Amino acid sequence: MALDSEKAAEPRRRKSIWRRVGVGLGAFLAVLVLAVIALYAWPLGSDRLEDAQTRTLSFEEAGQEAAGLVEADNGNAQVRVECRSQALVHPEKTAKAVLMLHGYTSCPKDYVEMAQLFYDRGYNVYVPREPHHGLQNVATSSDVGAIGLVEYADESMDVVAGLGEEVGVIGMSGGGVLATWLAENRTDSVSHLLALSPFYQPDSSQAPPLVLKPLTVLFGYRVLPDRNVGDTNFTLSGLGQYLRIVANLEEEPKNPELRSVAVAWSAEDPYIDQGEAVERPDNLADANGLKLATHEFGPERNLPHNIVAAQELGDRAEETYELYLDLYEG
């Protein structure tokens, strides 16, 4: 009889186990759905990422600030020699001055030859090292933060605005994001924008558009531990900071000071969404009654993501820098 009783109870036990499994699975799915909803609903807006903070500097003050940064880099053993900030400044305020912003994980060395060309054409040129970049420990690049990046861009533009009458900005990759942010928000000064391989959005082969918001939240706000992107020295948290800034760019930004907007990129660039690289500058140009100037380096040039560094441009570097000068000046 006891055996018969145990046999009769077995189906009930199985049903109870599966019921508990079902309840647990349902609770897990409910939590998962709520987590996904929370990620997509997470607000990316930030007052500091939407507004500039402007200082007015005289030529002397701007020159002193630029020279001070260069001197600080020269005296800092943690800064790699080739990555020190650069300031090519004529003895007096010039008609034109330009800010050159390097990309994520890179440093001012990319602009050495190009900065010299602009200087020789009469520009005062400022190429500041981005915070946490160009150090002996290259891993520190990932310590950047979105707020710190726009503050760096803002302060750098203060300097350039004091060095020239008509000023603008050139940015490579993540520097292109900061340059675009300045063109939108520094309506007191920015007249020219040249974005080179701007990282407004990764190529879909790197990250499908559907996952961009979760990636921006989870890594841009450092909810999850950082991780490298493939075999590169890019990290998700570092890239997430630029995506946070992009999320705060305007759809129809107005800047009455703008005189030209241009973008250049390589058809072989595997990292950026090339459609977005053109669309955002085009929106900026269109909103201000300008025609966007574009240049795509075709497959025959076989250029990588970095289209500024002389070693990447090879024996056509000088020709390419002349092109950039034309694009920048409109």
- What 3 state SS string does 175-225 have? HHHHHHHHHHHCCCCEEEEEEECCCCCECCCCCCHHHHHHHHHHHHCCCCC
| Collapsed DSSP state (helix, strand, coil) of residue 115 | helix
Average pLDDT of the segment spanning 64-85: 98
Is residue 205 located within the same domain as residue 308? yes
Burial class of 325 by CB neighbour count within 10 A (0 to 12, 13 to 18, 19+):
middle
Is residue 27 located within the same domain as residue 72? no
Which residue, among 324, 326, 330, has the nearest Cα to 170 in the 3D structure?
324
Lay out the sheet containing 190-196: strands in order across. 86-88, 124-127, 94-101, 164-172, 190-196, 260-266, 293-297
Q: Please, which pLDDT band fits residue 45 given cuts at 50, 70 and 90? A: confident
Is residue 35 located within the same domain as residue 65? no
138 or 21, greater pLDDT: 138
- The pLDDT of residue 2 is above 70: no
- The pLDDT of residue 232 is above 90: no
pLDDT-above-90 percentage for the chain: 83
Is residue 122 located within the same domain as residue 83? yes
Q: What pLDDT is recorded for position 27? A: 57
DSSP E strands in the chain: the ranges are: 86-88, 94-101, 124-127, 164-172, 190-196, 260-266, 293-297
- The pLDDT of residue 16 is above 90: no
Tally Cβ neighbours within 10 Å of residue 10: 9
Is residue 252 located within the same domain as residue 277? yes
What does the alpha-carbon distance between residue 121 and residue 227 come to, in Å, rounded to a whole number?
Answer: 43
Q: Which residues does residue 195 pair with via DSSP β-bridges, in sequence order?
A: 171, 263
Give 127-150 pLDDT, tens digit per residue.
Answer: 999 999 999 999 999 999 999 999
Ramachandran angles phi, psi of 272, nearest 5°: -105, 150
- The pLDDT of residue 289 is above 90: yes
Q: What pLDDT is recorded for position 32? A: 43
Residues in the chain: 330
Give 158-198 pLDDT, tens digit per residue.
Answer: 999 999 999 999 999 999 999 999 999 999 999 999 999 99
- The pLDDT of residue 8 is above 60: no
What range defines the domain where residue 12 resides? 1-41
Is residue 201 located within the same domain as residue 182? yes
Is residue 149 located within the same domain as residue 270? yes
What does the alpha-carbon distance between residue 232 and residue 248 come to, in Å, rounded to a whole number?
Answer: 26
Is residue 208 located within the same domain as residue 164? yes
Q: Count structural domains, the chain.
A: 2
User: Which residue type does 137 have?
Assistant: N
Q: Please, which pLDDT band fits residue 41 given cuts at 50, 70 and 90? A: confident
Is residue 182 located within the same domain as residue 322? yes
Q: Is the pTM of this model over 0.75?
A: yes
Is residue 136 located within the same domain as residue 247? yes
Give 75-127 pLDDT, tens digit per residue.
Answer: 999 999 999 999 999 999 999 999 999 999 999 999 999 999 999 999 999 99
- CA 216 from chain centre, in angstroms, equals 13
- The pLDDT of residue 306 is above 90: yes
Is residue 23 located within the same domain as residue 53? no
Check which CATH number belongs to the domain holding 142 and give it.
Answer: 3.40.50.1820
Give residue 118's region: left, alpha or beta (phi > 0; psi -120 to 50): alpha
Is residue 73 located within the same domain as residue 35? no
Of the listed ranges 24-28, 67-71, 218-222, 287-291, the least confidently predicted one is: 24-28
- The pLDDT of residue 274 is above 90: yes
Mean pLDDT of the chain: 91
